[in-house]
Amino acid sequence: MHSIIKILIAAGLGLLCACAATPVQKWRSEPLTQTIAAPGLRVVLEPLKENEEFFVGFRLTLRNDGATPLTLDWNQTRYLHNGRDLGVFIYRGIDPATIQGHIPQEVVPAGATFTQEIFPLRTIAFLPSSEIPKQGRRGFIPGILPSGENGILLVLGRDGQESRQKLSVRLRAETESKQ
């Protein structure tokens, strides 16, 4: 009789544990995107999630509405976390050997739009040199962006004049129950 009661109690506890809510982290961005509009220029920064779970980088969109080309200086453009400069960004197709101050500038012609998925160098891991990335894949694995203010100090040039644009979003993880 005692063994039947023990089995029933164990089964009941197992059922309760199986039905209990499991906490999960949901990452959120405030705002969802950050936009700057200036004469002849529109910039949008959108945080990107990996597998719909956590943020790993950004989609940067530059719209050149000016009459002359716009240049983006990747060597001076910086990843910012909580206002601190934490290095450069990289993107698919970049040669790891060019990262140390030799990343070519991006030229956005007048009337054109440039879009690039970018990732802080500080948070990524490159694939081994013996491994070739599959078609359409990056040659690196992005890491998780930390909670807090994450953004970019964008360095642009037009007609010999340099401008700096700062855009950021606040990322945070919230714990929710998973039923």
Task: Please state the domain count of the chain.
Answer: 1
pLDDT at residue 112 in the model: 98
Q: Which domain holds residue 98?
A: 2-178
Q: Could you read off the pLDDT of 113-131 as tens digits, one per residue? A: 999 999 999 998 877 766 6
- Reported as a single tens digit per residue, the pLDDT across 127-164 is 776 666 566 555 778 889 999 999 999 999 999 999 99
One-letter amino acid at 62 equals: L
Q: What is the pLDDT of residue 43?
A: 97
**Phi and psi, residue 71, nearest 5°:** -110, 145
pLDDT band at 102 (very low <50, low <70, confident <90, very high): confident
- DSSP per-residue codes, 84-149: EE---EE-TT--GGGTTT-PPPEEE-TT-EEEEEEEEGGGEEEPPTTPPPPTT--SEEE-PPPSEE
**What gap in Å lies between CA 162 and CA 146, rounded to an integer?**
30
Q: Over the stretch 31-89, which tens digit does the pLDDT of each residue have? A: 999 999 999 999 999 999 977 789 999 999 999 999 999 999 999 999 999 999 999 99
Q: How far is CA 95 from CA 20, 42, 91, 125, 128, in A?
A: 48, 28, 9, 13, 13
Q: Which among 10, 89, 102, 94 has a CA at the least distance from the CA of 56?
A: 89
pLDDT band at 108 (very low <50, low <70, confident <90, very high): very high
Q: 11-25, 75-89, 91-105: which has the highest mean pLDDT?
A: 75-89
Whether residue 69 has a cis bond before it, omega within 30° of 0: no
13-22, 31-40, 96-105: range with lowest mean pLDDT: 13-22
Taking alpha carbons only, the member of 124, 151, 161, 144 closest to residue 38 is 161
Query: What pLDDT, on the 0 to 100 scale, is given for residue 130?
Result: 67
Please give the backbone phi and psi of residue 97, each rounded to the nearest 5 degrees, phi first: -70, -20
Q: Stretch 88-108: mean pLDDT, rounded?
A: 82
Token duo for residue 26: 């949901």
Given a contact cutoff of 8 angstroms between Cβ atoms, the answer to whether 65 and 38 are in contact is: no
Q: Would you say the pTM of this structure is higher than 0.85?
A: no
